[in-house]
Amino acid sequence: MDKNQLDEYIKSRFDDQVNWYDKKSISNQKTYKNLQWIIIIFSSITPILIALDFGFSEYAFLKWLSVGTAVIVGISAVSQQTFKYYDNWINYRTTCESLRKEKHLHDTGVGEYAGVSDKDAFFVERVESLISKENTVWIDTYQKKTDRK
């Protein structure tokens, strides 16, 4: 593999994949944490609203408000389980950091790159292996979901 081929691979494939995994990891982390906060806050508020309703029947809106907060908690919890935001966050972050580490090992010629005759070709093979592995993990994660149905 010559330098131009490697540069093109890094530009068109490697950098694109690292950026994709980084953005998806950040997005899934934010969504997961936001849903966690919604669950924490609204599940804490719901029993308070129910307790306030006891003995104060003139405030009928409290019943509906407590029902609304319970529904929000339910939707948030099911969304987390269905869309696997936590699993995606961890898997995408792990893959992103593994790809970055691979680039550093390649550039410095250490680790498994020491003594390899064509470290550029070896780099491409390892990167594609990491991407393939993540795809397999993603399929396994979502296959488990569909198997439960």
CA dist., res. 106 & res. 111, Å (int)? 9
Task: Report residue 64's pLDDT band, with 50, 70 and 90 as the boundaries.
Answer: confident
Q: What is the pTM for the complete model shown?
A: 0.85
Amino acid at 47: P
CA dist., res. 32 & res. 1, Å (int)? 42
Q: Are 22 and 96 in contact (CB under 8 A)?
A: yes
Task: Report residue 70's pLDDT band, with 50, 70 and 90 as the boundaries.
Answer: very high
Task: Report residue 138's pLDDT band, with 50, 70 and 90 as the boundaries.
Answer: confident
- pLDDT cut 90: percent of the chain above it: 73
In the chain, how many domains are there?
1
* CA atoms within a 13 Å half-sphere pointing along the CA-CB vector of 117: 0
What residue numbers bound the domain in which 123 lies? Answer: 3-147
Mean of the pLDDT values across residues 88-94?
Answer: 96
Task: State the average pLDDT for the chain.
Answer: 91
- The candidate with the shortest Cα–Cα distance to 90, out of 7, 25, 21, 16, is 25
Give pLDDT tens digits for 27-55. 999 999 999 999 999 999 999 888 887 76
pLDDT at 44: 96
Q: Please tell me which residue, 116 or 142, carries the higher pLDDT value.
A: 116
CA dist., res. 72 & res. 78, Å (int)? 10
CA dist., res. 34 & res. 28, Å (int)? 10
Secondary structure (3-state) at 17: helix
Q: What stretches of 10-118 show up as alpha helix (H) in DSSP?
A: 15-53, 61-83, 85-108
